[in-house]
Amino acid sequence: MNSKVLSIRSKSFLVFCVLGLGWVFAGCAPAVLTPLPADQPGEPRQTEKTETPAEKPSPRALAALQLTDQGRMFLERGQPDDAIGILEQALNLNPTSGMNYYYLSEAWLMKGNNAQAAEFNRLAEIYFKDDNEWLDRLMQQRERIKKQKPL
């Protein structure tokens, strides 16, 4: 009886060893890292439309640019309140445009509200992270915000 039990245990042990080694080597088996398809469920996606560099502006972005331009013109005419109204519209139409944030910051700066100007300047940076020219302008704007005394 005991020997029978022992033999069953020995067989189990052998099977366990084989499976265990198999498992160890299985862990080392893949030669290539598991690919991460963008649409694979359960995994974070990396590929986003907005992140594609040099992408042709969407019709929506082009429409929003018209509003941004109107806002800029209001600023040139020294009408920050009118500029803010139209730039908010532009922002709602295209929330990923850094220019709207930049000009909103400019408008608040003109109104003497440095806190709001700083907020919008900071937000603009998110959308200009790959654009050195605009980043320079943002930095200059930031300096101007720092220097201006709040009204």
Partner 1 sequence: MTKKKPSIGVVLKRLFKWLLPLAALMGVGILLYCWHLSSQIDQRFSGRRWRIPSKVFSDTTLLYPGQQINRPLFNEKLRRLGYRQLVLNPRNKGELYSSASVVKLFLHDLSMPSRYREGVPVRIRFKGNRIESIAHLNTGEPMPILELEPEEVMLFFGPDREQRRLVSIDQVPQHVIDAVLAIEDSRFYQHKGLDPRGILRAMYTNLRHGSIRQGGSTITQQLAKNYFLTPKRTVVRKLKELFLSLTMETMYEKNEILEIYLNEIYLGQKASVAISGIGEASFFYFGKSVMDLSLNEAATIAGIIRGPNYYSPHIHKERCRKRRNMVLNAMHQKGWISDEELKTVLPLPIKTVGYGAYGKIAPYFIDYLSDQLKELYSPQDLSSLGLSIYTTLDTQVQMAAEKALKRGLERLEKSNPSLVRKEPGKRLQGALVVMQPKTGYILAMVGGRDYSLSQFNRITQARRQPGSAFKPFVYLSGLDTLTPASILSNEPVTYEVDGKEWRPQNYAAMTAKRVSVRQALAESINLATVDLAMKVGLDKVVSTAKQFEFSTSLKPYPSIALGSAEVIPLELSRAYCVFAADGVLPYPLSLKEVLDENGEILERRHVSIRQVVTPEKAFIMSSLLRSVVETGTAGSLRAMGISFPVGGKTGTTNDYRDAWFVGYTPDILALIWVGFDNNDSIFASGAGAALPIWGNLMNALPQYVSGDWFKMPPGVVQGIVCSESGQLALKNRCPHPVEEYFLDGHVPSDTCQIHDSESQIGRIIDELKGFINTF
Residue ranges that bind partner 1, judged by CB under 8 A: 9, 13, 16-17, 20, 23-24, 27-34, 36, 41-46, 48-51, 58-60, 62-63, 66-67, 70, 74, 79, 81-82, 84-86, 88-89, 91-93, 95-96, 116, 119-120, 122-123, 125-127, 129
In the complex, the smallest distance separating the C-beta of residue 123 from partner 1, rounded to whole angstroms, is: 6
In the complex, the smallest distance separating the C-beta of residue 84 from partner 1, rounded to whole angstroms, is: 5
Mutual angle of helices 114-127 and 98-111, in 10-degree steps: 170
- CA 107 to chain centroid, in Å, comes to 25
Give the number of other CB atoms < 10 A from CB of residue 72. 19
Say if residues 102 and 124 touch (Cβ distance below 8 Å). yes
In the complex, the smallest distance separating the C-beta of residue 104 from partner 1, rounded to whole angstroms, is: 8
DSSP assignment, residue 20?
Answer: H
